[in-house]
Structure formats: structure tokens, C-alpha cells
Chains A and B, each alone.
Chain A
């Protein structure tokens, strides 16, 4: 099965650009996530790939064949969109069978595939039911079944887990990863849109990071996560985003420092060959805040606006010199608003060029 190539695609809605010169190549057999907040252009891009929207500019190829002008029903593309859009008058069985019926598969083949799909999704007991009898989680499985039952060159999954309550979502990320290993899917182009970086991390090999109609980054999900390649990545991949501090290079006696504020100041003499300019940005991951000082950590005082407690941990929303700072502690603990001193390990900082936005290095003393 062939590679999907998108070249210079533009799209506007009432004069506003929602896709801006998108060029991508997505290889078959690689689970790829399109990650971005609401309004990034994820759904528009998927609709253009599916052919339900036309780009103003640019071309789309599937393998050697250009498909820019090919009508959706001739594209061999399966898509699941947000909101499940099940046919209310058809049984679950007929909902799943509908794409096969449209392609005039013989009854015996339809039955074989629907039953198999129902087994994979563990919904065989629901096949005779009507959509209105289903719970949210069940309807979502049926919609998945309908999208995944046929053979296609491209599978497009647009936020299939959004709208499920979090407990169902938690189980489904693991299960979905297994479901998508099925025979008819694993050789196809598989694109998965989500605003949630944890889904991208736990499921997909590659990630396309989008914001405001542009592709900010495209690469190996895990590598990017561990070592953010650019300021754009640091801002838009993580949620809450990585903390960024503008700083400049200063010399005190014989030592070079990157100084962001009185409290945030890093000795960088050992990195001097890598620092040819004056202005830099320090990036600090949200999980790099500690309550107890160890080694050569530095103390920083923040102003806490909200401690957002989850069983897995606590997100601290803080301010520091007029900037928003997000911290994460891996245990649930409530804090009152106000002044809060935390400790930060210099080794956790990343150093970016201010001008180009590119990562220079991770700080190590």
C-alpha cells in the first residue's frame, strides 16, 4: 500500500486561513498522530485528505497517483469523525456493515467481517441493538467498528476518544493500540487526530504537531517528548506547556551565566562554545519542580494561583515575574493560594536559541 503525500495545501474559511502551506509525507504502516489544540486545523486537514473538502492550493498524492480531484467515494478512505453519527434507524450490525454494503460486498463476506470486527471490539452482544439503546462507550465502539471494517488505503480517526468519560478513555487508549494492529489496517496510512499529547505518546510512533493551520514539527513522538527540538515544540506539545524563561548571557568574574532573574541563573562556562549569541530561552519541564532540596538545586519562590489536584498528581498553576508557570507533582496534594517556594534542579533545563528557536543542548553541569 502507498505513501500519502501532501504538497503545499492551503485552505481558508471566509477569508481566514485555516491551513497554511501544509506539506507532509506519511508512510503506510506507521501510526501517526496529528496533535494540536482546537482550531489547529486537524479536522480540516483530515477532511481534505478524505476529499470532503477541497484545498485552494496544493496537491495530494497517494503513491504515484494524484488524488486531489478524486471524489471521496473513489478514494478508499475510512474516516471516523467526532460525534459518532450512527444511522439511528439501523441496527448495530447494519451500521458496521454499511461501508461494506456500499461497496457491494457479498453477504457472506459482510457477515464474516462484521462478526470479526465485533469480536475485536467486544461488542458482539450489541449487534441486534439500535443506536439509541447504547451507552456512550458502546456507541463509540460501534463507530470505530464501522470505520475499521473495510479495506482502505487511509484510515482517518478524528478524536475518536473525545467525549468519552475519562474512565472509558483510559481503558481505550491501550485497547485501541491493539485494535489498530488488525490485518487490514496495519499496512495502510493511519492518521489519528487528538488535542491530548498523552494519547500521542502512548499510541503513535510519529507525531505531526499543528497549531494555527501550520505544521510546527513532524517526527518520532518519544524522541521529541524527551528532548524538545524547538521552542514551538516546547510551547505546543506538552499540556500544560513547558515553562520558558527569557535569559541573557552574562559574565561575572571568570564564570559565564545565563540569567533569567535573580533566582533563575545558571552557570554555563562549560557550554561556552555552544553559546555564540546574547539572548537565549531556558525551558523547564513541568515535572522538574521539587519540594525538598537535594544536591545543588536552586530555590525559586512562585505565586500559586491554583493547585489542580488529580489522583495521579497535582498541577500547580503559578506566576513568576508576571509569567505563567506550570508545575507538576506526581502525588495528589492541595495547596492554598499564595507564595510557594519550590526547588529546581539545573540539570532539568533545556537551552534554546532565542532567534531561531532551536534547541542547543540540555543543561548538564
Chain B
């Protein structure tokens, strides 16, 4: 069993003037694959270091129900991989052996474990090479192997792919995913890259300004962002945001109006102002006028690759801008288009807090 629980954890680097981490409550469990995702300075690495026992904090951290406050790093059953690969100036084999060299194991057992990790990570061909002379991607693979060879229950990965060249990143991603499938541990992965989070975890904590804004399955976070920030940060391009006002039972956006989606009738009945979010891939865009479609003007089209295009749209009196993503074979730049906002894809957020109102 392995279970990491945090209760009201906060951390300040300047004695409480500002907080790098604020009131974090979360639980991560055995065989889970988790990501902490957010822009630089959001607190994700701080959170990871608290789990590792490298930082002072307020609140409580429990591993399997045991309060970890006084437990030093070496007794925490964790292993950590850092952004810049750390290897010792010895062969790859000796690097992998290093963490278990003092464990009371038969030498065949030690050798067996090294071979096992080496095989999963495809390090066999370079086992005798001096690790410190390898390229960054291979060095990071060695660092990963060294973290995994201990029987740690919790593996902490702090942006391990950020400093690896793009072409090699994919190979390493594949290896990490394979390890996650074969080793039953808690994996906590810190990244600013949404595609790494989506590929290498099942549940994601999206963080900003020291807070966890949303901690949920990746599908739910994408479909139902709890905050405007989450909608903007996840997605490429991010969620469109429009400022709206309630007017005569409709949602008014100055140069067009939309009916209020049933889920939001109550909220919009009580609040005059709100923000509407809608994902760029959720529109239907037509060259012809149809019922319930809103007139827009297509200012520019960018090819996005993979057969997809981004339309940059502006409403009739240029009061609202939208990005739409899709194949859109008939749409031309500089032409009038008609846009449908599907009611089921509209999300409404509180104007002050940016929080979902549902």
C-alpha cells in the first residue's frame, strides 16, 4: 500500500509574507499516476519537495496514515528524478547499482535487479559506458533507472523531460509510460506541459499561484474546467472566454445574444454579469446562414498542421473574438461566417473569482 495525504498544507519562503503553496488538501494513492500541472511559479515543485521532505511547511502530510513531519528523506520510501539529469562519474551499470550497493542482498539479486531495470529502460547496449559522458536523454534515463531500482513506493518526477532535446523526449516518454505500467507505485509527475500530463497521468492537479484549482481525472478537467484559468491553460488554443450580461432572459454579448443553457438558468437569473467559456473545437462554423447561427467575420486562418486549421473570428461589431479549431474546408479568410454555440458545450463562470458556477 502507498497513500499520500495532504491536509491544509501551506508553505512560505519568506516567513509568511507570501505563500508558494496555500491550503493544499489532496490524496494520492497506490498505482495512481498523477501530474501537478501549472505555469512556472505555481507551486508545483514546492509541493513535490514537501512530499520528499525537503521543505518546511504548515499543515500535515501523511504516508499510509503516518504523519511525516519528523520523518527524514531517507526513511520516506521515495525516489526522485530532477529536471537536469544527475549521474555519478562511473559506468551506467555502477550508477544503477549505486542505490542498492549497501542493501543486504545476495550479489546475484543485486545484479538481477540492475539487469531488470536496464532491460525495461533499454540501457543494455550502454551498460559499460561512462554515464557522465552520455547525452542528456541517456543520462536522464540512467537517473530514472537509479530512482526505480530502490524499492521506493513513491516516485517523484520533477520536469524530467524539460531539458531533453525534442526528438529524444518521445523515446523517454515511452519508457516512462512503460515503467508506470509495469511497476506498481505512486507516480507524481511535475510539468508545465499539458501533453506530458495528459500522456503520463490519469489524474491531474492544475495549479496556479500556490493553489490547486482542480484535481480530477484528465477527461473531466478538459470537459469541465473548474476555473477559467484551467480552461485557458489546458488546450491549445485554450478555451475562449466572453464577458456576458443577463438581459431579458438571454445572455447578452453586446453584438449578439444567446439563450441561457438550462443548467445555468438559476445562476444567470441571480447574477447580472458572468463569463462564458467555450472550447475552440466545440463550434459548428458554416458559410451559410442557418437557424440559431450567429454572424461572425473570419479575420485570419492559420494552418495548425495535421489537417486542422485555426479560425480567428470576430463578431459583427468586433466586440467579441473567438478562436475555432477544425478542418473547415470551405471557410475563407476575410469572409462572413455563421457560428453555432452548442448549449451543452457552454460553461459559465463567476466574473469575480473565475470559478465555475455549477
Seen from chain A, the residues whose Cβ lies within 8 Å of a Cβ on chain B are 37-38, 135-136, 165-167, 170, 173-174, 195, 197-198, 201-202, 222, 225, 238, 285-287, 305-313, 317, 328, 330-332, 334, 337
Residues of A within 8 A of B218 (CB): 309, 332
Residues of A within 8 A of B312 (CB): 174
* Distance of A339 Cα from B237 Cα, bound (Å): 32
Within 8 Å of chain A (Cβ to Cβ): is B307?
yes
Q: Is the CB of A167 within 8 A of B308?
A: no
Closest chain B residue, CB of each to CB of A222: B303
Residues of B within 8 A of A136 (CB): 40
Knowing A38-B165, A136-B40, A332-B222 are in contact, say whether A167-B306 is a contact too (CB < 8 A): no
> Could you list 6 A-B pairs, sorted by A, with CB under 8 Å?
A225-B303, A311-B194, A311-B235, A312-B235, A312-B281, A312-B304
Knowing A202-B302, A287-B306 are in contact, say whether A310-B237 is a contact too (CB < 8 A): no
* Distance of A195 Cα from B193 Cα, bound (Å): 18
Q: Is the CB of B193 within 8 A of A166?
A: yes
Residues of B within 8 A of A330 (CB): 281, 306-308
* Distance of A170 Cα from B39 Cα, bound (Å): 14
Residues of A within 8 A of B26 (CB): none
Q: Is the CB of B304 within 8 A of A309?
A: no
Q: Is the CB of A170 within 8 A of B236?
A: yes
Closest chain A residue, CB of each to CB of B177: A306
Tell which of A37, A173, A331 touches B167, judged by Cβ atoms closer than 8 Å: A37
* Distance of A312 Cα from B306 Cα, bound (Å): 10
Residues of A within 8 A of B234 (CB): 311
Tell which of B194, B238, B302 touches A310, judged by Cβ atoms closer than 8 Å: B194
* Distance of A330 Cα from B280 Cα, bound (Å): 13
* Distance of A337 Cα from B199 Cα, bound (Å): 13
List of 6 A-B pairs having minimum Cβ-Cβ separation, nearest first:
A310-B195, A309-B198, A202-B302, A201-B303, A287-B307, A306-B174
Q: Is the CB of A165 within 8 A of B192?
A: yes
Closest chain A residue, CB of each to CB of B197: A309
Q: Is the CB of A38 within 8 A of B236?
A: no
Closest chain B residue, CB of each to CB of A201: B303
Q: Is the CB of A38 within 8 A of B166?
A: yes
* Distance of A38 Cα from B195 Cα, bound (Å): 21
Within 8 Å of chain A (Cβ to Cβ): is B181?
yes
Residues of A within 8 A of B262 (CB): none
Q: Give a binary string over B279-299; 1 marks a CB under 8 Å from any A CB, 0 the rest.
A: 001000000000000000000
Within 8 Å of chain A (Cβ to Cβ): is B184?
no
Within 8 Å of chain A (Cβ to Cβ): is B325?
yes
* Distance of A26 Cα from B220 Cα, bound (Å): 49
Knowing A166-B236, A308-B173, A310-B198 are in contact, say whether A198-B304 is a contact too (CB < 8 A): yes
Residues of B within 8 A of A317 (CB): 170, 174
Closest chain A residue, CB of each to CB of B325: A312
Tell which of B167, B219, B281, B303 touches A38, judged by Cβ atoms closer than 8 Å: B167
- A37, A166, A310, A317 pick with most chain B CB within 10 angstroms: A310
Within 8 Å of chain A (Cβ to Cβ): is B305?
yes
Residues of A within 8 A of B40 (CB): 135-136, 165
Residues of B within 8 A of A308 (CB): 170, 173, 195, 199
Q: Is the CB of B236 within 8 A of A311?
A: yes
- A166, A225, A308 pick with most chain B CB within 10 angstroms: A308
Residues of A within 8 A of B300 (CB): 174
* Distance of A312 Cα from B308 Cα, bound (Å): 10
* Distance of A307 Cα from B180 Cα, bound (Å): 14
Q: Is the CB of A310 within 8 A of B167?
A: no
Q: Is the CB of B233 within 8 A of A167?
A: yes
16 further contact pairs, Cβ within 8 A, besides A167-B192, A198-B304, A306-B174 = A38-B166, A165-B39, A165-B193, A166-B192, A167-B233, A167-B238, A285-B307, A287-B307, A307-B199, A309-B198, A309-B199, A311-B222, A330-B281, A330-B306, A332-B219, A332-B222
Q: Is the CB of B170 within 8 A of A201?
A: no
Tell which of A135, A170, A286 touches B237, judged by Cβ atoms closer than 8 Å: A170
Closest chain B residue, CB of each to CB of A329: B306
Q: Is the CB of B199 within 8 A of A167?
A: no
Q: State the Cβ distance, A234 to closest chain B Cβ, in Å.
A: 14
* Distance of A197 Cα from B305 Cα, bound (Å): 8
Q: Is the CB of A337 within 8 A of B303?
A: no
Residues of B within 8 A of A165 (CB): 39-40, 192-193
* Distance of A305 Cα from B178 Cα, bound (Å): 9
Q: Is the CB of B167 within 8 A of A332?
A: no
Interface residues in B305-336 (C-beta closer than 8 Å to A): 305-308, 310, 312, 325
* Distance of A313 Cα from B40 Cα, bound (Å): 24
Residues of B within 8 A of A307 (CB): 199
Closest chain B residue, CB of each to CB of A135: B40
Q: State the Cβ distance, A104 to closest chain B Cβ, in Å.
A: 39
Closest chain A residue, CB of each to CB of B234: A311
Q: State the Cβ distance, A164 to closest chain B Cβ, in Å.
A: 11
* Distance of A310 Cα from B222 Cα, bound (Å): 11
Interface residues in B218-258 (C-beta closer than 8 Å to A): 218-219, 222, 233-238
Residues of A within 8 A of B192 (CB): 165-167
Q: Is the CB of B236 within 8 A of A198?
A: no
- B174, B199, B222, B237 pick with most chain A CB within 10 angstroms: B199
Residues of A within 8 A of B178 (CB): 337
Residues of B within 8 A of A174 (CB): 300, 302, 312
Closest chain B residue, CB of each to CB of A202: B302
Interface residues in B131-179 (C-beta closer than 8 Å to A): 165-167, 170, 173-174, 177-178
Closest chain A residue, CB of each to CB of B40: A165
* Distance of A124 Cα from B170 Cα, bound (Å): 39
Residues of B within 8 A of A38 (CB): 165-167
- A225, A306, A312 pick with most chain B CB within 10 angstroms: A312
Q: State the Cβ distance, A207 to closest chain B Cβ, in Å.
A: 12
